[in-house]
Amino acid sequence: MKKIQFLIFSVLILMLSSCSKETLDSQSIFDTTSPERNAFDTWILKNYTTPYNIDFKYRYDDKQSDNTYNLAPADYSKSVALAKLVKYLWIDSYEELMGKDFIRKYCPKMIQLIGSPAYNTQGSIILGTAEGGLKITLYNVNAIDLTSLDVNVLNKWYFKTMHHEFAHILHQTKNYSTDFNLISKDYQSSSWVNLAETDALKMGFISNYASSEPQEDFVELISIYVTHDSSYWNSLLTQAGSAGSAGKAIILQKFSIVKDYLSTSWGIDIDKLRDIVQRRSGEIGTLDLTTLN
Residue 235 falls inside a structural domain: yes
The predicted structure's pLDDT at residue 105 = 94
- Residue 11 neighbours by CB under 8 Å, 6+ apart: none
Question: Which amino acid, one-letter code, is at 165?
Answer: E
Whole-number Å distance between alpha carbons of 33 and 264: 46
The predicted structure's pLDDT at residue 196 = 96
The predicted structure's pLDDT at residue 47 = 96
Half-sphere exposure of 29 (CA within 13 A, CB side): 1
The predicted structure's pLDDT at residue 2 = 47
**Nearest CA to 83 among 135, 134, 109, 47?**
47
The predicted structure's pLDDT at residue 50 = 96
Residue 29 falls inside a structural domain: no
The predicted structure's pLDDT at residue 66 = 58
The predicted structure's pLDDT at residue 63 = 61
Count Cβ atoms below 10 Å from residue 4 Cβ, excluding itself. 8
Residue 271 sits in a domain whose CATH number is 3.40.390.70
Distances (CA, A) of 118 to 75, 106, 214, 281: 16, 26, 23, 26
- Residue 259 neighbours by CB under 8 Å, 6+ apart: 270
Contact at 8 Å (CB) between 78 and 144?
yes
Residue 10 falls inside a structural domain: no
Residue 55 falls inside a structural domain: yes
Domain hosting 230: range is 39-179+195-286
**Nearest CA to 83 among 105, 52, 111, 51?**
111
Sheet with 128-131, side-by-side order of all strands:
55-57, 110-113, 135-138, 128-131
Question: Which amino acid, one-letter code, is at 1?
Answer: M
Three-state SS at 18: helix
Whole-number Å distance between alpha carbons of 205 and 219: 11
* DSSP, res 156: I
Query: Domain tally for the chain?
Result: 1
Contact at 8 Å (CB) between 227 and 277?
yes
The predicted structure's pLDDT at residue 6 = 47
The predicted structure's pLDDT at residue 30 = 47
Residue 256 falls inside a structural domain: yes
Contact at 8 Å (CB) between 278 and 229?
yes
Whole-number Å distance between alpha carbons of 148 and 12: 78
Residue 184 falls inside a structural domain: no
Mean pLDDT by 10 residues, the chain (293 residues): 50 50 54 70 96 92 61 92 95 97 93 83 65 79 90 90 91 94 95 94 97 96 97 97 94 98 98 97 93 87
Residue 22 falls inside a structural domain: no
Let me know if 183 is exposed, middle or buried by CB neighbors in 10 A (0-12, 13-18, 19+). middle
Residue 14 falls inside a structural domain: no
- Residue 61 neighbours by CB under 8 Å, 6+ apart: 112
Whole-number Å distance between alpha carbons of 126 and 120: 7
